[in-house]
Amino acid sequence: MRLTLYLMSLFVSLLLMTSCQSQRALGKNENGLRPYPIIDMHMHAFQWNKYGDPPPPNLITRKSPAARSDSEAIEAYITEMDKHSIVLAVGSGELDMVEKMQARLGPRFLGGIEFPKYTKPVNRRIEDWPDTNELLNLFQSGKIKIMGEITAQYAGVAPNDPRLEPYFAMAEKLDIPVCLHTGFGPPMSPYMGDPEFRMRYGNPLLLEDVLVRHPRLRIYIAHGGYPFLDETIALMLMYRQVYMDISAIDWLLTKEGFHDYLKQLIRARLEKRIMFGTDQMIWPETVEMSIEAIDSAGFLSKEQKQRIFFDNAATFLRLDKSKYLPGKSLKTDEVNSETIKVIRSEMRLRPATVGDKLLTSFNLNSTGFKSAAVQVTGFDIDAVSEAEMVINGHKISLPEDIVGDMTAKTVTIEVDKKILKEGKNTVTFVFADAVGGTTGFSILAFDLILRKK
């Protein structure tokens, strides 16, 4: 009897040890929760039978998807979101599936249309360039929130091709995030429905002319630019507004190959612009595979992992990070807060001389709120002493996080609700100091966040 009890106790201990080790491997604490949330910057709202009926198995695991309806495919991904503390998913597909995902996830999803090359069920390759007026209506109505994934490479179109210019111009004007496919594609793509696909069009350096024409374009290159490592680093070192996601390569490559690639990006000091992504299509297990690829990277510090999983994407998307922290309910927070969009077009103090200022105003119809914050997006603010912000005569200090040389940076600043008043409120931005001979800055966005709780 004692031997049986001993063996049972040993078995339970081994199970607990294995569970703890598994949780640590996935970056979880003793309670099974992640210490910080995750944003998936690259997933897809795809039909369950997009690639066949029955669906083909995962290239790596050889596991076939269980979903046999679009709703089951959506729920399978949401299960992974809930399991791994993914608080926000950014994804693309055909409009009807994007709308279904949006209806199911609400504020936990930002969607866009994949174009110009995409797959329709069952495994039919289509090329379609959306009408710019129709696309504009979709953005203005809020039905989609991002541009892309732009899959021009599959259509034999380079990033600097004139056919893409109207889309980039629209994205810059509307301040819409853009996801651009770069790097590689499925093996044998030119023989498998994409005869115009060329690897050379996946070189991120081909984006350079676009960035020169559109300096405020908010763009991120997909798949880490793999395998164009040197070109990717060169582009991102020169153009600091460019971010990347590391989707697909974090589960398609061997762990050693992915870690080697990621390590070079980190050594190039790009850690603040690398964002997590899964490229989850119809295989939900790729979510955990992608997360584990980051968690198992022993060369990354805890802070670097947090930046990749959450902070960098929150910065790029200009989110109020406090809404997504552990213990917060995004839906509840949305209900109990109000956002007043004061400006959404550029307020330019460039060129400017010290003392120049710009004013804007907004009307506040209620003071019945518990706390307040402002979310400010500045462009080319070289030092906090350069830019001053004044609300109703009260100077509000800008934090260091807003500093960026020819880069847009977004910060959220708590403000004393007493400085806000019923009726007209005035916000003033002042070019206060020509740091190192600088000649001004721009404010691209200003939101007032009022919280009821």
Q: Which two tokens stand for residue 81?
A: 């979101």
DSSP symbols for 105-116: HGGGEEEEE-BS
Query: Which has more pLDDT, 239 or 444?
Result: 239
Sequence-distant contacts of 246-249: CB under 8 A, at least 24 apart = 246/274, 246/275, 246/276, 246/277, 246/308, 247/41, 247/42, 247/43, 247/222, 247/223, 247/276, 247/277, 247/278, 247/279, 247/290, 248/42, 248/222, 248/223, 248/277, 248/278, 248/279, 249/183, 249/223, 249/224
Q: In degrees rounded to 5, what are phi and psi of residue 372?
A: -145, 155
Nearest-10 crossing angle of helices 255-267, 229-238: 30
At residue 28 the predicted structure's pLDDT band, cuts being 50, 70 and 90, is low
pLDDT of residue 29: 53
Q: Can you say whether residue 393 is alpha, beta or left, with left for phi > 0 and alpha for psi between -120 and 50 degrees?
A: left
**Lowest pLDDT segment from 1-5, 338-342, 352-356:** 1-5
pLDDT of residue 406: 72
Q: Region 299-320: what's the mean pLDDT? A: 94
pLDDT of residue 335: 55
What share of the chain has pLDDT > 90, as a percent?
A: 75
At residue 331 the predicted structure's pLDDT band, cuts being 50, 70 and 90, is low
For 260-283, give one letter per residue: b (16+ CB within 10 A) or e. ebbeebbeeebbebbbbbbbbbbb
Rounded CA-CA distance 340/321 in Å is 17
pLDDT of residue 103: 96
Full set of structural domains in the chain with CATH: 27-324 (3.20.20.140), 336-451 (2.60.120.1200)
pLDDT tens digits, residue range 124-147? Answer: 999 999 999 999 999 999 999 999
